[in-house]
């Protein structure tokens, strides 16, 4: 039992006890919800355990107050509706926790007493690492994986066979031939620390919010309806038990050996311990290597090795009597948040960072913690000077859990999220599609330029042979390529550089010449590739094509963008931009913000002047070369459909009437555009005529 066992004060009146117990149930339900459902625990394991023990103590003192469905009875949280429910053949239990040596001493004494063994009688334990992931059960029939599910509330879990099947360390067919016909393997699904960091990097690139820790990332990945998403995440599985023990397996050690033989991976290190001091030595040795392990562990688990003893010991409430988790020192603590600074990521996301009064968390000195984004700051109302609760999320990224009670009269005002990049001073804006605030500096921001350059030369952009990610890294470090224009002036500058690229080991005359040649060849580029290469947020290959078709030439596009960004989001120019096929508000805003930055404008202008940018061909169709303007409401199709139709037949849409407009199509309740069209001689089509036009073979 944990050290909190003797602490709770038991109210003397029944009414007070009832109120207290109800309150504790609510708290425990809430924290179960945060932990299991949201994957975002708000309190430390010790604090949770203290609440849990207090509720147990009250239940013991007032047994008739105990209700049926209490958080002291069930494990976890009820399963999500979106997955099919699965009843566990044998309940999936949790583990009792201990944080101190006394807790382990109590555990051993309790077991020996229960089994009627002398206090100094030998008793073996299997010691295993406690992986910080989420537990899963796998059913095999005749060696074939037939079902995989989560623990859920311990009685009912969620069917996640489709995502579990994507995990390489889960065999679809058991190895060997000595497995029973029906087998249920239990273990932990997790993500390695390295894969977690890579996944978050990817998410940052895609503008998605980062996962707080590997456990959340694993839980989020495995509980996907789409197994393709899970398959992209390199999840792993360690097996540690069986629901029912087959004949012939007598110990936990033998059980683990069988699991290994059948093709499962196991936690490491595993050790048979014969005494308290052996257990404590194991605990100390694992804690020492904890931060070097490739995956997060939050403690170690001791299990009575003999399975017949395990059976006799049975369970209490929701945990087996024969096992205990010896948790590592809490990695939460309180400190002062000295300042909030802003870090700029490789894709330009501005992340607020808490600069802390250094604090030792589980043996690691923490002086910075992530605050995720502007919304999170606001939601948790975190301010400079606050006393805060810090947590090392797993072993990886420290985070601020919440502000501890503060004297509001002495608090600093709320942090004002900057609207400029602290690195390049370009303005930053909040992308409506995501929680992130982004710097608009792009190539001009040293935090982002290298990534942008890699995109610029990539396969669907300039596609320069011999100039891949590694070469960009090299030229960036050498300060020879810091901007897109530097690529095209590389050869000319090289003759003046010492050493010349030809003299640098690993390059040589031939490869340098090949590279210069490849760059020269890309002085000519199609307009859509050029647009895509600029890496403007949300401008992918398809939107780039749409813009290229719509504006025809790079100078025309540039001129329009410059004008649009000088005006407001209400301007006619902006409205005309967002009426282009594939271009909506978000893309429009992204272009607007990009062109508001003078350095971006200069960079694009210089490139347009230097390069030969080739217009792309309109899809040939019956409306090729014709520009349409719609006014009023059409009866047979929406405006969007009409737009798609024009574009699919090779025509273009405009939102402002000019002599360049070939037809004005008029629906019901048209505005004043008819008069203007008549005045400048633009032909007018009614809906019927429009329909005839597009049905023409
Ligand atoms: S044994 C009946 N062994 O820790 C015993 N659990 O906090 C059930 N866990 O639900 C579990 N590593 O998800 C066991 N080596 C290990 C473990 C382990 C991680 C997890 C498991 C369990 C939770 C309890």
Q: Residue 137: which pLDDT band, with cuts at 50, 70 and 90?
A: very high
Same domain for 123 and 165, yes or no, is yes
Same domain for 284 and 362, yes or no, is no
Same domain for 175 and 308, yes or no, is yes
Same domain for 296 and 350, yes or no, is no
User: Looking at residues 396-419, what average pLDDT do you find?
Assistant: 87
Q: For residue 315, is it within any domain?
A: yes
CB 624 within 8 Å of CB 650: yes
- What pLDDT, on the 0 to 100 scale, is given for residue 317? 77
Q: For residue 43, is it within any domain?
A: yes
- What pLDDT, on the 0 to 100 scale, is given for residue 40? 58
User: How many Å apart are CA 513 and CA 493, to the nearest integer?
Assistant: 14
Which H or E run contains 547? helix 541-551
Mean of pLDDT over the chain: 88
- Crossing angle of the two packed helices 598-610 and 585-595, in degrees rounded to 10: 90
In sequence order, the 6+-apart residues with CB closer than 8 A to the CB of 254 are: none
The residue among 501 and 9 whose pLDDT is bigger is: 501
**Buried-state track 46-76, b at ≥16 Cβ within 10 A, e below 16:** bbbbbbbbbbbbbbeebeeebeeebbbebbb
CATH number assigned to the domain comprising residue 638: 3.40.50.10190
Helix residue ranges, H only, 354-406: 374-380
User: How many Å apart are CA 125 and CA 172, to the nearest integer?
Assistant: 31
- What pLDDT, on the 0 to 100 scale, is given for residue 34? 64
Closest residue by Cα to atom 12, ligand 1, is 130
Closest residue by Cα to atom 22, ligand 1, is 94
Same domain for 400 and 315, yes or no, is no
Same domain for 137 and 25, yes or no, is no
Q: For residue 460, is it within any domain?
A: no
CB 565 within 8 Å of CB 604: no
Q: Is the confidence at residue 498, as pLDDT, over 90?
A: no
User: Rounded to two decimals, what is the model's pTM?
Assistant: 0.55
Q: Residue 4: which pLDDT band, with cuts at 50, 70 and 90?
A: very low
For residue 340, list its beta bridge partners: 354
Count of all residues that appear for the chain in the document? 697
User: How many Å apart are CA 532 and CA 452, to the nearest integer?
Assistant: 11
Final residue in a domain of this structure, among 286, 304, 327:
327
Q: 74 is written with which tokens?
A: 């069930």
Same domain for 189 and 286, yes or no, is yes
Final residue in a domain of this structure, among 383, 410, 437:
410
Same domain for 115 and 225, yes or no, is yes
- Integer angstrom CA distances of residue 256 from 93, 126, 197, 290, 630: 18, 10, 30, 22, 72
Q: For residue 592, is it within any domain?
A: no
User: Looking at residues 521-527, what average pLDDT do you find?
Assistant: 95
Q: For residue 538, is it within any domain?
A: no
Specify the number of domains making up the chain: 4
Please name which of 476, 337, 352 lies closest in space to residue 422, comparing C-alpha atoms: 352
Same domain for 126 and 249, yes or no, is yes
Q: Is the confidence at residue 491, as pLDDT, over 90?
A: yes
User: Looking at residues 176-203, what average pLDDT do you find?
Assistant: 92
Q: Give distance in angstroms: CA of 96 to centre of ligand 1.
A: 10
- What pLDDT, on the 0 to 100 scale, is given for residue 21? 85
Q: Give distance in angstroms: CA of 694 to centre of ligand 1.
A: 66
Give 476-502 as a DSSP string: HHTTS-SSHHHHHTHHHHHTTSSS-GG
Q: For residue 317, is it within any domain?
A: yes
Phi, psi of 667 (to 5 degrees): -100, -155
Phi-psi region of 339 (alpha: psi -120 to 50; beta: other; left: phi over 0): beta
Q: Residue 20: which pLDDT band, with cuts at 50, 70 and 90?
A: confident
List pLDDT tens digits, range 74-96.
555 554 457 888 999 899 999 99
User: How many Å apart are CA 60 and CA 79, to the nearest integer?
Assistant: 29
Final residue in a domain of this structure, among 298, 327, 356:
327
CATH number assigned to the domain comprising residue 202: 3.30.470.30
Which of 38-47, 210-219, 313-322, 363-372 has the least mean pLDDT?
38-47
User: How many Å apart are CA 92 and CA 627, to the nearest integer?
Assistant: 67
User: What secondary structure letter does DSSP report for 36?
Assistant: I
Closest ligand 1 atom, residue 93 Cα: 2
Phi-psi region of 370 (alpha: psi -120 to 50; beta: other; left: phi over 0): beta
Q: Is 109 a catalytic residue?
A: no
- What pLDDT, on the 0 to 100 scale, is given for residue 5? 34
SS3 annotation, 304-370: ECEHHHHHHHCEECCEECCEEEEECCCCEEEEEEEEEEEEECCCCEEEEEEEEEEEEECCEEEEEEE
Q: Is the confidence at residue 138, as pLDDT, over 80?
A: yes
Does residue 304 line the site of ligand 1, with CB under 6 A?
no
C-alpha dihedral sign at 371, 374, 376, 378? positive
Q: Give distance in angstroms: CA of 130 to centre of ligand 1.
A: 6
Kindly report the CA angle at 398 between 392 and 402, in degrees rounded to 5?
Answer: 90
Q: Give distance in angstroms: CA of 94 to centre of ligand 1.
A: 6
Same domain for 312 and 372, yes or no, is no
| Neighbouring C-beta atoms of residue 109, cutoff 10 Å | 12
Same domain for 211 and 360, yes or no, is no
CB 80 within 8 Å of CB 223: yes
Does residue 241 line the site of ligand 1, with CB under 6 A?
yes
Q: Which of 20, 130, 454, 645 is catalytic?
A: 130
Q: For residue 510, is it within any domain?
A: no
- Domain ranges, residue 174: 97-327
Q: For residue 209, is it within any domain?
A: yes
- What pLDDT, on the 0 to 100 scale, is given for residue 671? 83
Closest ligand 1 atom, residue 95 Cα: 24
Same domain for 125 and 201, yes or no, is yes
First-residue to last-residue Cα distance in the chain: 83
Q: Is the confidence at residue 139, as pLDDT, over 50?
A: yes
Closest ligand 1 atom, residue 134 Cα: 13
CB 589 within 8 Å of CB 569: yes
Q: Residue 638: which pLDDT band, with cuts at 50, 70 and 90?
A: confident
CATH number assigned to the domain comprising residue 337: 2.40.50.140
């Amino acid at each position: 039992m944990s050290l909190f066992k003797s602490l709770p004060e038991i109210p003397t009146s029944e009414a007070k006890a009832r109120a207290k117990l109800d309150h504790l149930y609510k708290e425990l339900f809430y924290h179960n919800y945060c932990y299991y459902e949201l994957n975002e625990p708000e309190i430390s394991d010790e604090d949770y355990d203290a609440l849990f023990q207090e509720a147990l103590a009250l239940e013991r003192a007032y047994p008739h107050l105990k209700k049926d469905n209490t958080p002291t009875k069930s494990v976890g949280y009820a399963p999500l509706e979106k997955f099919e429910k699965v009843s566990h053949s044998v309940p999936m239990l949790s583990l009792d926790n201990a944080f101190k040596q006394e807790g382990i001493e109590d555990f051993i004494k309790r077991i020996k007493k229960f089994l009627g063994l002398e206090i100094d009688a030998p008793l073996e334990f299997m010691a295993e690492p406690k992986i910080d992931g989420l537990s899963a059960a796998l059913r095999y029939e005749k060696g074939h994986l037939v079902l995989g599910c989560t623990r859920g509330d311990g009685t009912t879990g969620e069917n996640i066979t489709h995502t579990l099947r994507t995990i390489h360390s889960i065999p679809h067919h058991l190895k060997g031939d000595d497995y029973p016909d029906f087998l249920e393997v239990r273990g932990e699904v997790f993500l390695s620390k390295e894969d977690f960091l890579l996944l978050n990097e990817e998410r940052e690139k895609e503008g998605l919010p980062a996962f707080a820790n590997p456990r959340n990332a694993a839980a989020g990945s495995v509980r996907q309806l789409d197994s393709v998403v899970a398959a992209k995440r390199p999840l792993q599985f360690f097996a540690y038990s069986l629901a029912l023990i087959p004949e012939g397996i007598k110990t936990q050690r033998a059980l683990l050996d069988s699991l290994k033989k059948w093709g499962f991976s196991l936690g490491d290190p595993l050790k048979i311990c014969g005494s308290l001091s052996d257990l404590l030595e194991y605990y100390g040795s694992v804690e020492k290597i904890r931060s070097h392990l490739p995956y997060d562990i939050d403690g170690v688990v001791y299990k009575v090795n003999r399975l017949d003893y395990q059976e006799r010991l049975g369970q209490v409430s929701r945990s087996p009597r024969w096992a205990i988790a010896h948790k590592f020192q809490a990695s939460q603590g309180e400190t002062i948040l000295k300042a909030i600074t802003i870090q700029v990521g490789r894709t330009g996301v501005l992340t607020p960072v808490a600069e802390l009064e250094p604090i030792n968390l589980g043996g690691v000195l923490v002086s910075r913690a992530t605050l995720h984004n502007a919304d999170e700051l606001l939601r948790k109302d975190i301010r400079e000077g606050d006393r805060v609760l810090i947590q090392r999320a797993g072993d990886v990224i420290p985070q601020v859990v919440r502000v501890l009670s503060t004297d509001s009269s002495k608090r600093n005002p709320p942090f004002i999220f900057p609207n400029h990049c602290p690195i390049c001073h370009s303005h930053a804006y909040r992308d409506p599609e995501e929680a992130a605030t982004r710097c608009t500096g792009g190539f001009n921001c040293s935090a982002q330029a290298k990534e942008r350059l890699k995109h610029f030369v990539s396969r669907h952009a300039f596609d320069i042979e011999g100039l891949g990610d590694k070469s960009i890294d090299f030229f960036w470090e050498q300060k020879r390529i810091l901007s897109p224009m530097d690529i095209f002036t590389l050869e000319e500058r090289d003759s003046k550089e010492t050493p010349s690229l030809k003299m640098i080991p690993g390059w040589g005359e031939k490869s340098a010449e090949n590279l210069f040649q490849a760059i020269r060849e890309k002085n000519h580029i199609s307009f859509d590739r050029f647009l895509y290469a600029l890496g403007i947020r949300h401008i992918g290959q398809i939107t780039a094509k749409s813009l290229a078709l719509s504006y025809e030439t790079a100078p025309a596009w540039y001129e329009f963008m410059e004008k649009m960004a000088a005006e407001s989001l209400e301007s006619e120019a902006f409205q005309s931009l967002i009426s282009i096929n594939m271009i909506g508000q978000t893309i429009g805003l992204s272009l607007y913000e990009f062109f508001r930055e003078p350095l971006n404008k200069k960079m694009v202008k210089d490139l347009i002047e230097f390069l030969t940018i080739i217009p792309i061909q309109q899809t040939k169709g019956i409306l090729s070369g014709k520009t349409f303007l719609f006014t009023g409401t059409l009866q047979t199709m929406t405006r969007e459909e009409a737009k798609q139709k024009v574009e699919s037949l090779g025509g273009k849409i405009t939102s402002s009437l000019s002599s360049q407009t070939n037809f004005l199509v008029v629906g019901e309740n048209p505005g004043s555009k008819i008069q203007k069209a008549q005045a400048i001689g633009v032909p007018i089509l009614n809906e019927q005529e429009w329909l005839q036009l597009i049905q023409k073979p």
